[in-house]
Each structure stands twice: as structure tokens, then as C-alpha cells.
Amino acid sequence: MKFKKILPQFLTLLFIVLIFGFFTMNAQENMDTRGIEFGFGFLTKEASFDIQFSLIDYDGSMSYARAYLVGLLNTLLVSFIGIILSTLLGAVIGVARLSPNYLIDKTASFYVEFFRNVPLLLQIFFWYFAALRALPMPEDAPLIFGSSFMTIKGLYTPAPIWNNFDIFMISLVVAMFVIYFFNKFAKKKQEEEGIQYPKFIISLGIFIILPLLTFIIGGVDLSWSFPELKQLAKTSFTYEGGMGIPPELIALTLALTLYTATFIAENVRAGIQGIGKGQKEAAASIGLTPNQVLKLVILPQALRIIIPPTTNQYLNLTKNSSLAAAIAYPDLVLVFAGTAMMQTGRAIEIVGITMATYLTISLAISVFMNWYNKRIAIQEK
Amino acid sequence: MNYLLTNKYKQKGRIMFKYLKQLTSLVAMVAVLFTFTTETMAAKKSKTLKNTQKKGFVRCGVSQGLPGFSNADAAGNWTGVDVDVCRAVAAAVLGDANKVKFTPLSAKERFTALTSGEIDILSRNTTWTLSRDADIGLTFVGVNFYDGQGFMVRKDSGITSTSQFKDGISACTNIGTTTELNMRDFFNSKGISYTPVAFEKADEVVAAYDAGRCDTYTTDKSGLAAQRTKMTNPDDHMVLPETISKEPLGPVVRQGDSVWEDIVRWSLNTMIEAEEYGVTSANADMMKTSENPQIKRLVGAEGEMGAAFGLDNEWNLRIIKQVGNYGESYKRNIADTGILPDRGPNELWTKGGILYVPPSR
């Protein structure tokens, strides 16, 4: 009886182990006959190649591990910006699709249908090469916002030069804590005594005033370095000083945002349409203002429908960011699974590390979004 | 209750462990059997040669389109000096230079494709370096083009030498090549700060440089000359005279099959030696009656030059007849197409170049 129970499970396990063992053995044997060694020692070796764009200090004399970190941060950067922007744009478009205004509704529909039905790689190429052709050379670039230049070589903006930046950052963290506790306090007051505070205005006030104070008494100081045109040769120019944002990052962010926002817009529309009309009417009938109806009745329920599929879109966006390799944005795939893999020849190790990294990022996003989803779910009392 | 449970799991674990032990010994036995059979096979004859003859075509990795070296026309016919190396091997091994299956590979994919056994020869303008030869399971068999890295700039920029490069210059290039490393060495030694813009595919590098994303485009000089023909206005661009590195390009095979390695090496050597002795695709048959024993060996009329590889005696004659000698290949692919009319170092040692191969004897 017991044996019958164990047998199928054991056979499955045996099957998996055998398959895995077979491939491991084969790989080991193939690598042996070709004189390839397996190991992660290469990570500490000098990378000896440079990277276009890095959030941390990097040059070719540093290790492959450092190059990995540069690629990882670049991937996280583009994913983070992409997620924020596509959420904002998706929310706006999703609401616009429900607009009673014919023009707004149809424009939003057209946008959604167009952008989600064109392959993403094509869109990336389009934004990159179309933008490259359309943007002016550095010497002809017009001034935007009085201090920035949008050129074929990138967007050049003033760069902040901080004094005592750490104090400023600490003040931001403190402000967040204060806001968190204030909101907790305000909620308690409302539940127990019915007193309502203008929570948003006060929170915003704290967020602005606390960091501002550090400028006056904390010794924090901010000045700007402005980009200046520099001549490299008779007809070739660039900008020096300031902050240079490569066109590759801009094109990639644009493509990822426009593509993912279409899916998020549909999620938002589905979420709002999923709330029965009666809910809105009932809320209005007990005297809530339209703003309160939206904030207290519609949105909390709609979010429960919106969050799970939107989590998927966040994961997709992060994974899609690996298409960066096509347009020279130095993300994890281009830097690590590209150049580093070529220079070291460690295909198995590097692909393994890269896969594990994407898996970790995706799982982290999932965990966070699941936590958030649970938090806003109906609390059964 | 709790105690019982743990005990149950312990028992289960013990059973599992027993099974696992048996399993490991089984796996080990299979492993021993496996290595034994493959080794005896490899000892008898080259595994790659055997597979190639069984399949009926040579599996050759080439570039994704580099005029003069490996480039496909609209009908899908591959031409180029790198392509000719694979054709020579096909002529020697299979008797027909057209029996080649070409696999276009990016710089990033090429070595993995070779080591994983997807292709048997990598003939893709690949630089021979110590770390590649020794570290990652590859063997370089020779050099079919002596190259060096250079820079291309726009003519109207007024730059005529790399000494005019200034801080802040941006350079477009490919990833996964020695180019990236040489570029860093070069700019570092000159103390110039630069922005590398590295793409995965050559076509995107050309498009970005052509659009004005970069001030200069750097890769092997032969590559620059070939890619220049793809620009919107080729005449607006020029290659600077300086060469910043040695780039001996040549065919590569997997490590561990020395017979196959020898076949590829001597197919290339035959082409170069044929030029040295004036044997061409047109006169190869007539050369069988030559007085010179060296020439007679080259066309299979004397000695048993193919036996060591497990090939017949006319393997080298077929290479010369079907593909031609190195000079013919160079003229057809690189000189007549206007890419690099001047052979430079890729001239025979007897004519002031550095092409010098060991004798076939």
C-alpha cells in the first residue's frame, strides 16, 4: 500500500534526476574534451572594456563582477523608469477610454490598438533610429528649459553638485517616516473621533519643508554645472559638463513605456468597468461628493481587479528591457551576457548568472506586488 | 503525534538516501561506458570528418554580411575569402566546393556555436589571440587575412589622423570583439576620455554612425573598408591611416579533433602555396605533368599527401580547381569589388608581403 504510493513519485524523481544528470554529464564531458573549465574565478579578473553609461564608478580596469553590477543597475534603472511612466500613462489612457468625449475615447482606443499590435523590437528600432535621424547635431541643438539640449548624442541637462548630500537624503527618509506616522494618526482620529485632516496637503508640506530646512540649518548646498558646447573637430561637436543622458536610454524607455502602457490602460479600464454602477449610485445617495466616490468607493475596489494583471505587465517590462542589446544601451544582457561572455568565453556560467538575476528581479517584483495586493484586498473581519 | 511524524519522515529520508546511492553508482557506470565508447571512436578516425562525410556537407559559421569576407547575395549565394576557406574544405573532404551549409553568426554567438557543435569550422574574420586559443576550447588553424584595427571619420570633420582626437569623442563599435579592448588600450595610452557606443550587430553600428551618433567608427580596417560601401554616401567617409592593433584573422575549429584541425589548416595552406607556385584553377590539371616535384605534390600527382587525413590523393587538386588559389580568391572577392585593391601585408612573402606557409610535403 505504502509502496504503491511512493513508487510513482520515486519514478518521477528518478526521471528528473536522470535527465538532469545526463545533461550535466554531457556538458561536463564536452567541456572536458574541449579543454574548458567550469568556474566563477573569472568574475574577479580585470574586465578591460569600457561601458558607455554607468550609474556607479566604473572603468575597464575594474573586475567583471563590477561590470555585472553596472549592467544590473542599468537594467534596474530602465525598468524602474519604465514601470513608473507606463503606470502613469496607462492610468490616464485607461480613464480616457471611458471618457464620454468621442474624440478622447477614440484617440485613446487608436493608441492602444496601434502600440500593442506592433512588435516591441520594431518599436525600439523605430524610436532609436527615427529619433537619431530627427534629432539635431549638437551644434544646432536648440536650448530647452533654458539650460538643456536635446541632441543626437543625447540629452544634456544641468548636473546637480551637492554638498552634504547624505544629510539631505536622511531628511527625506525622516520625512517619509513622519508622513507615515501622521497618516496612521489621522486615520485613527477619523475612525475614533470622526475628525478629518487634509492628509494630502499636510503630507506634501512635510515632504517639502523638512528637506528645505536642511538647506538652511543642515549645511546642505546645491549648485549646478551646465553643459557647454565643445568642438571636437571642424564639424563635430559635443557637450561638456552637466549630465548626459544617452539617446539609447531615452529610446528604450520611450518604447517600453508606450508599449506596456497599452496593456496597463486596458487593465485600468477593465478594473473601473468591473465595478457595478449601483456602487456609484449608492455612494452618491449617501451624500459623498464625486471625488469621495472615486477615492473611497470606486478606486479601492477597482485596484483589486487592476493589480494582478498589472504585476504581469511590470514583469514583462523588466524582461523586455533585455532588448536593449539591439540599440547599444548597456544593460545586463549587452554588458554581461554580451561583451563579458565573449571576452571570457564562460557561456554556461554567465548565462546561468544572468538567468538567476532576471529570476530574482521578477520574483522580487512579484513578492512586492502580491504584498500590495493582499494589503488592499477585502479584509474579512 | 509530532514524534511519529518526524520518525515517518526520517524513515522516508533513509529510503530515499538508499535509492540515491544506488542511483549515483548507476550514473557513474553509464558515464564510464559513455567515455569509453566515444574515445575509441575518436581514436580511429576524426569524429568531425566522419560526421561531415555522413551528412554530405560542411557546416561553416560565417559573418552576418561583411562584403569581401562572407556576404550573401540576393539569391543566397555566399562569397568572400572566409567563405572560400570552407569551400576549400568541402572540395577536399566531399569533392564538391558547393557542399557547404553556411550559418551566419554575430560576434557574440560565434564561439558558442563552434564549441557547442552547431558548426564545424568558424571562418568569420576572427582574430587569433592567446586567450581565445588557449582558454575557451578553440584552436586557430592559420591566418587567411592580416588585418589591424583602424578608425573611420567623416571627411568634412577635417580629422586626418588619430592624433587630432580630443576628449569627449564618441566611438561606435561592435560588442564581443577584440575591438572593444583595443579601443580602450588606445584611448587610455593617449589619455583621451571617450564614450564607447557598442552594438550587437554590425548593421546597427553602421546605421548609428551614419546618422551621426558617433564621431568615429572603429573596427578592423578591412571591415571599415567593407562597411563604408554600405553608408548613405560612402565618399563622405574616410579611414584614418593609423593602425592601432594586430588582427590576424583566420579560421577556427573546436579543440580536441586534431585530424579535422589538420584538414582545415592544410586546405588553407594549399590555397596559399598554390599561388606561390603559380598553380591556378585554370592550369591545375596541366600542372600534373610539371617537372617540379613540389608542384606535383600540390596537385596530387606525387606522394600520398591525403592519406594522413584519411582523404584520397587529389584532395588538394580539387581545392585548386574548384576554389582557386589564394590570389584568385583575393582578387575575386576583395580587389575586384573595390574593397581593398592593394593587398598590403596579404601578399606572398616572395612579393613583399607576409603570407608564408609551411610546405606540403
Domain ranges of chain B: 2-44, 48-146+249-351, 149-245
| Cβ–Cβ gap A133/B211 under 8 Å | yes
**Mean pLDDT of the B133-162 span:** 91
Contacts of A134 (CB under 8 A, 6+ apart): none
- Is pLDDT above 80 for A300? yes
Which chain B residues are within 8 Å of A133, Cβ to Cβ?
Answer: 211
- Name the range with the highest mean pLDDT among A39-48, A92-101, B78-87, B112-121: B78-87
Measuring CA to CA, how many Å separate B271 from each of A135, B91, B351?
50, 12, 16
C-alpha cell at A258: 508606450
| Cβ–Cβ gap A233/B181 under 8 Å | no
pLDDT mean across residues, chain A: 88
Which chain A residues are within 8 Å of B172, Cβ to Cβ?
Answer: 328
Interface size between A and B, measured as CB pairs under 8 A: 153
Crossing angle of helices B221-228 and B202-211, rounded to 10°: 70
Q: How many CA atoms lie within 13 A of B153 on its CB side?
A: 23
C-alpha cell at B361: 610535403
User: In the block, which residue shows the cell 529610446?
Assistant: A251
Lowest average pLDDT, out of A371-380, B36-45, B79-88, B322-331, goes to B36-45
- Is pLDDT above 60 for B5? no
B 196-215 residues inside an 8 A Cβ radius of A: 196-201, 204, 207-208, 211-213, 215
DSSP for A61-95? TSBHHHHHHHHHHHHHHHHHHHHHHHHHHHHHHHH
Q: Is B316 exposed, middle or buried (0-12, 13-18, 19+ CB in 10 A)?
A: buried
Contacts of A3 (CB under 8 A, 6+ apart): none
The CA distance from A329 to A210, in Å, is 37
**Chain centroid offset of residue B196 CA:** 25
In this complex, the residue of B35, B169, B196 whose CB is nearest that of residue A50 is B196
At residue A299, the pLDDT reads 85
At residue B37, the pLDDT reads 44
The correct answer on CATH 3.40.190.10 for the domain covering B149-245 is: yes
The SS3 of residue A274 is coil
Eight-class DSSP state of B302: S
| Cβ–Cβ gap A50/B34 under 8 Å | no
Q: B358 — contact with chain A (CB < 8 Å)?
A: no
Asked if residue A145 is part of any domain, the answer here is: no
Neighbouring C-beta atoms of residue B245, cutoff 10 Å: 18
Question: Biggest alpha carbon distance in chain B?
Answer: 99
Query: How confident is the model over A183-229, as pLDDT tens digits?
Result: 888 888 888 888 878 878 888 888 888 888 887 877 777 788 888 88
Asked if residue A97 is part of any domain, the answer here is: yes
The confidence band for A329, taking pLDDT boundaries of 50, 70 and 90, is very high
How many domains, chain A?
1
The confidence band for A137, taking pLDDT boundaries of 50, 70 and 90, is confident
The SS3 of residue B147 is strand
Q: B191 — contact with chain A (CB < 8 Å)?
A: no
Eight-class DSSP state of A140: G
| Cβ–Cβ gap A327/B199 under 8 Å | yes
The confidence band for A35, taking pLDDT boundaries of 50, 70 and 90, is low
At residue B27, the pLDDT reads 57
At residue A380, the pLDDT reads 63
The CA distance from B149 to B106, in Å, is 18
At residue B9, the pLDDT reads 55
Q: How many CA atoms lie within 13 A of A25 on its CB side?
A: 17
Lowest average pLDDT, out of A68-77, A151-160, B124-133, B201-210, goes to A151-160
The CA distance from A380 to B46, in Å, is 72
**Mean pLDDT of the A94-115 span:** 92
Min Cα distance A123 → chain B (Å) is: 15
Please tell me chain B's helix, strand, coil percentages from 3-state DSSP, rounded to the nearest 5: 50, 15, 35
Asked if residue A152 is part of any domain, the answer here is: no
Measuring CA to CA, how many Å separate B185 from each of A49, A50, B188?
9, 10, 5
**What range does the domain containing A112 cover?**
64-133+246-376
- Is pLDDT above 50 for B35? no
Q: Which residue of B has its CA nearest to A326?
A: B200
Q: Which residue of A has its CA nearest to B181?
A: A49
User: What is the CATH number that goes with domain B48-146+249-351?
Assistant: 3.40.190.10
Partners of A159 in the β-ladder: A225
- Is pLDDT above 70 for B17? no
Asked if residue A191 is part of any domain, the answer here is: no
| Cβ–Cβ gap A132/B176 under 8 Å | no
Partners of A48 in the β-ladder: none
**Mean pLDDT of the A277-304 span:** 88
Q: A330 — contact with chain B (CB < 8 Å)?
A: yes
In this complex, the residue of A21, A34, A232 whose CB is nearest that of residue B256 is A34
pTM: 0.78
Which chain A residues are within 8 Å of B191, Cβ to Cβ?
Answer: none
Q: Do B311 and B318 contact (CB within 8 A), yes or no?
A: no
- Is pLDDT above 60 for B2? no
The CA distance from A118 to A94, in Å, is 19
At residue A359, the pLDDT reads 95
Neighbouring C-beta atoms of residue B337, cutoff 10 Å: 18
The CA distance from A247 to A153, in Å, is 6
The CA distance from A240 to B81, in Å, is 44
C-alpha cell at B248: 590576424
Share of chain B above pLDDT 70, in %: 88
Neighbouring C-beta atoms of residue A89, cutoff 10 Å: 18
The SS3 of residue B103 is strand
Q: Where are the alpha helices (DSSP H) in A97-222?
A: 102-116, 120-125, 131-134, 165-193, 199-217
Min Cα distance A117 → chain B (Å) is: 24
- Is pLDDT above 70 for B33? no
B 63-122 residues inside an 8 A Cβ radius of A: 107-108, 111-112, 115-117
What CATH number is given to the structural domain containing A81?
1.10.3720.10
Lowest average pLDDT, out of A289-303, A318-332, A350-364, B108-122, goes to A289-303
**Mean pLDDT of the A112-126 span:** 94
Q: Which residue of A has its CA nearest to B42?
A: A33
Q: B168 — contact with chain A (CB < 8 Å)?
A: yes
Which chain B residues are within 8 Å of A137, Cβ to Cβ?
Answer: 212
Contacts of A368 (CB under 8 A, 6+ apart): none
Q: B13 — contact with chain A (CB < 8 Å)?
A: no
C-alpha cell at B81: 575569402
Measuring CA to CA, how many Å separate B350 from each of A377, B277, B320?
84, 11, 20
